[in-house]
Amino acid sequence: MSEDSLREEVLTARRIVVKVGSSSLTTATGGLDADRVDALVDALAKVRGRADAPEVVLVSSGAIAAGLAPLGLDKRPKDLARQQAAASVGQGLLVARYTASFARYGIRVGQVLLTAEDASRRAHYRNAYRTLDQLLAMGAMPIVNENDTVATAEIKFGDNDRLAALVAHLVRADLLVLLSDVDGLYDGDPSRPGTSRIAEVGGPHDLDGIEIGSAGKAGVGTGGMVTKVEAARIATGAGIPVVLTAASQAADALAGRLTGTLFLRTGSRTSDRMLWLAHASSPRGALHLDAGAVQAVVSGGASLLPAGVTKVDGEFTAGDPVDLIAENGHIVARGLVNFDARELPRLLGRSTRDLAQELGAAYEREVVHRDDLVVLRG
């Protein structure tokens, strides 16, 4: 990777999403590290102070970690209720610390708390965009976090790395910067001799043979290198380049200096609908496909017809997202189904023409229309 290529990606970006992890903001025992927060704010404020200043959205973890010490907890609790209690205490402390730190530069902050449901429900998704866009237009610094105080296992993003990738797409960002306690992606465990940092990733082929799980991992929090690489895959696939580096090198990364790992864009911007369907929707069931249907859906660009469905799993209603599964058990696509789960069994393996003749014109349609389907793998 050349410094020129990195500088071009960074310095031409007009809207940047920066994500920082819990381990980069807190002490090992929980509680906010004011010096670390101030150092990050210094870097972000410097970007905002440039003559050609881009807009910046901050996705910040740290609410649960910040609430541990005040509640007398020596480690992150495993049960959901105590996690939510810690988040309730910690979120206020986190935003208060950011508010005070940004105030040194005359920058106001706005808190935006999201759950996966906000990304999976179209009305919520549009409302989130309008809020973030208006905050930026009014010169405020949006600080986004998952709403851990109410999110349950069923409606959690799972980690803020994926949330950051989805927010980057949501706000039409030109760049995503992932900050951690590791200064990039390594070809092995960075604590072991002989490993080296990967300067540039042009696509999945550049990661062949690398055990991502051991290629650097964060301390506290739920994320790790696996979630960061997955976030980079989501963002770059939607046309957004990603810089992964240490929080201590945030200023260098945002100035376009050579640091971390640059993930080059691998695709072009997709529709909000398709990105939501692929990465933010929660499947309510599954449809098992025969080989012909898999070929038609994955390679042929076709809709899914009743004739190609062999089995139905789950309880869902028309309009719900469902996974499409090949004979080998692999999920090949996801789509919005046109029938209820209770309706489908009598339709399986039959042509739409026969169904229309027997059951009426309403049944001469696809199980999943191509416009409501996204291929997940070939």
- DSSP secondary structure letters along 65-116: HHHHGGGT-SS--SSHHHHHHHHHHHHHHHHHHHHHHHHTTT--EEEEEE-H
Question: So what's the pLDDT on residue 227?
Answer: 87
What would the two tokens of residue 319 be? 């309009």
Question: So what's the pLDDT on residue 220?
Answer: 45
Single-letter amino acid, residue 210? I
363-375 pLDDT, tens digit each? 889 999 998 898 9
Question: So what's the pLDDT on residue 154?
Answer: 43
- Find the helix or strand (DSSP H, E) in which 246 lies: strand 242-246
Question: So what's the pLDDT on residue 49?
Answer: 87
How far apart are the C-alpha atoms of 277 and 256, rounded to whole Å?
Answer: 33
Question: So what's the pLDDT on residue 218?
Answer: 45
**HEC secondary structure over 278-326:** HHCCCCCEEEEECHHHHHHHHCCCCCECHHHEEEEEECCCCCCEEEEEC
Question: So what's the pLDDT on residue 210?
Answer: 75
115-174 pLDDT, tens digit each? 766 665 666 777 888 999 999 999 999 999 887 666 555 435 556 888 899 899 889 999
Q: Which CATH architecture has domain 283-375?
A: Roll (2.30)
What would the two tokens of residue 195 be? 């490993």
Domain boundaries, the chain: 3-275, 283-375
Do the domains spanning 3-275 and 283-375 agree at the CATH topology level? no
Q: Is the pTM of this model over 0.75?
A: yes
What is the CATH T-level fold of the domain 3-275, as seen in this structure?
A: Carbamate kinase (3.40.1160)
Q: What is the dihedral of CA 226, 232, 237, 238, to 10 degrees?
A: 130
Given a cut of 50, the residues of the chain with pLDDT beneath it are: 154-155, 218-222, 378
Q: How far apart are the first and last CA of the chain?
A: 30
What would the two tokens of residue 76 be? 């992150």
How far apart are the C-alpha atoms of 344 and 347, rounded to whole Å?
Answer: 5
